[in-house]
Amino acid sequence: MRFTIIVFPGTNCDHDCHYVLAQVFQQEVRYVWHQEEELGITDCVILPGGFSYGDYLRTGSIARFSPIMAAVMRFASEGGFVLGICNGFQILLEAGLLPGAMLRNKSLRFICRDVFLRTENNTTVFTNALKPRQIVTIPIAHMEGNYFASPEVLSDLQKNEQIIFRYCSAEGDIQTESNPNGSLDNIAGIINAEGNVFGLMPHPERCSEMLLGNNDGQYIFNSIIQSFKE
């Protein structure tokens, strides 16, 4: 499978994604600089985490206008797989490829720690390797991860099963205490209505080897690879 990782000024998780895909999963991976206008031949585009353009203005709001984003939007409209991780999720929101917006964490502080996630929909391209309501542990590292949407958008997300992961307790309970950033409805990741664009705040690329003490992130990458094979 051919993966493309978009690199913006300030991106800092591009090498993490590249390493996991190339070394752990033995997939074909290449970088595309944000000033390029074409993606080339690819099967899945990844917008990695970091601080694109220093997070000036709103997170992702400048990166959204990078030349390469027109190609990403065309690719998504044609059904191509697109994964946005952390800042990549924020960029997808700014670009309108996913609904809603990000606010600052309720604590107004940067948060970097492991969190528990409950799998709300395991029938997608990005989650088919997971079991229904499976609990996984994946790290977060963000200042603006407080997902917000209008009541109408939230209702649609719930009705259409577009909420993919929710922050939860170790036992899988969805509660305020297990919500690290104040995110609406404990949302940690959502997918578009068509099912090919997925954004999440946690970092699966940072927990895809047992060398790091946890490989729960492998579920997401395995799901993508298996979906393409099918």
Active site (catalytic) residues: 86, 203, 205
Strands (E), 60-196: 81-85, 101-103, 111-119, 135-142, 146-148, 163-168, 187-191
**Joined tokens for residue 87:** 């800042």
In DSSP notation, 27-87 reads -EEEEEETT-S---S-SEEEE--B-GGGG-SSTTTTGGGSTHHHHHHHHHHTT-EEEEETH
Q: How far apart are CA 100 and CA 201, in angstroms?
A: 13
**Do residues 89 and 200 touch, judged by C-beta distance below 8 A?**
yes
**Cα separation, 208 vs 27, whole angstroms:** 14
